[in-house]
Structure 1
Amino acid sequence: MDTQQNTALTRALTEIPGPLPARGVIHIAIRHTDRFTVVGNDLAQHPGLSTAAVGFAVRIQSLPQGTEVGIKALAARFPEGEKLVAAALRELEAHGYLQRARTRLPNGRIVTRTVFCNQPAALLRPRVAAAPPKQAPAAPQVTAPVPASVPAPARAPAQGPALAPAPKPEHHAPLASAPEAPVPEASTPQDHAHFVPLVPPPTAPKPPRPPLPQPRELTPELERISTALLSDLHHHSPEFTLSEEHVHRLVPGVAAWLERDTHPDTIRHALTTNAPEPVKYPYQFVKHRLTVLLPPPALRTTVTPFQTCDGCERAFRAPTPGHCRDCRTGLAHEDQQAAA
């Protein structure tokens, strides 16, 4: 197998035009027709990036859109460990090739979106907006009368010595001069300031964030249960360690959930499940989920309680104690007979 490869390489070297260098690398470039990725020399020969960072940049650039390129995903795909992958991604992020931003999905979950740019320096170059060319008004054509005695000047050859200008005839109207080409104005620093950005800024202001839900009445019992639930979050997930001030601010939001007949375990599960890694700002994250994932109010139905009849000791439904329907009818009949 090695002999076949060496023979193919020797044959390919003989087909390279021109003299070969006596030392150093010799490139045998075979044109790709499918499954290839274009890599610029600014990345391949970047003086500030390590070989591992350049290698991972090439691998990320070759992956299709939507492929997971986190630390764990790359470590599972390639033989390098998570520490080497994390160090390479930090290098690419420091030099502008990689950007990791947190994005909020419509369901309230926060995910990390990775953006890779093969030429980060090109994003910083200002691009002058191409203005439409100004069309000068067409000048009126003026034809000067040419005397019959003056012969027409002969046309100069395409390539040859310059001929002397022909003598101007006397006593005739002057020839109309051709309109001069507009001289371009000198560019000023203000002209270069107006460039088309690659990423346009947002045109509409962001809507204000909804406030933290509040209960109808913050009773001492609701406040006690809410404080205990928030203070106990770090036992279930160490990243949800809240300060005393943050717990005091978030108590009304938890109380609003409890007021809607939500079990404390359900609240804890809604706050800590599918959280990003790591949770940099636990207070903002808990506040967001308490606001966005607030359940609807519970539908309360009024149930008429059972009462015991004072006359026959029979059970019947009524809002207040008294007599059942039969006893009330009998008492009314007795009252009518007594009145008669």
Structure 2
Amino acid sequence: MPLAAGLAIGLLLSPTSEALAAPKPTIKQAKAKLKKLNDKADKVVDRYNTATEKYKAAQGEYGKLNASYKRKLETVATLRAQVVAMAVDTYKLGPDARSWPTMVGQPDPTGMLGSLALADRLSQEKMARLAAFDRENRGLKDERDKAETALQAADKERDGVEKERSEVRKLIAQQKKLLEKLGAYKTGDPNSTGIKYTGAASGNAAAVLRFAYAQVGKPYVFGGTGPRGWDCSGLTQASWRAGGVSLPRTTWQQWAWGSSRKVDLKDLQPGDLIFSSGLGHVSIYAGNGQIVHAPQTGDVVKVVTLSSYGGTLVGAIRP
């Protein structure tokens, strides 16, 4: 057997699969990969939330326009019935109630004048009804077209939601796999009653933090708006709602909403919202160097030190 052929067969038969397999990642490498996945997931989840909000808005717009179209449809149907009744009456009574034989057939001048006035009034009413029918009927197509356009927009936004949801699910599967390898995957308790807030916040900020602390231990859920699970902006929105302030849904929207309410990170007060670089994450400052937040997949709502968060912060707002 030629030497080259023998070597080739030997290589094929030798147990080299283990030697050639890529080495398992170290804990440090797995954590670094997880951090990248978490950063990416934060942004994708916010895109998903934004798409969902746009879809809801488009659905609402379609609902209003469709209701308006249906009301106009009913109005046109009523006017159409009146116009048909008028046509039938005209056929029965003759086309011109003011014809000369009819008028002169009245027994006295007063009766004749009264007939003239009545005929004019009936004619005006008929003309008004015909004009109304024509106007509403022409407007009906506009209303229908507006409703159909809004429905198409809603369908487009729905498709956007599905696209982002698919991307999120892929990322979640990767995050979960890594967390399970690290033994760090937390399912959380959807029925958790949390912990008591005992910090120095007052006024509506105290109500905000009491609510947020009561969610501690519940799982992070992408797109979660409670009560059994939360994502980061879902938690901040609901917490500030408990404090009497209505925030928009997504991290990006909350940051934009607070453009005139920004505060320096050196001047944080309990209740302030803290945003990470890239606006992928938002948390609530609890005072004494701590934050409460819904971190990411495989974790739970929790209280940690601001310094342990590990991300670059872009700023804060005070609702």
If you compute each CA radius of gyration, which structure gives the higher value, 1 or 2?
1
Q: TM-score when scaled to structure 1?
A: 0.20
Larger RCO of the pair (alpha carbons < 8 Å, separation 6+): 2
Q: Which has the higher helix share?
A: 2
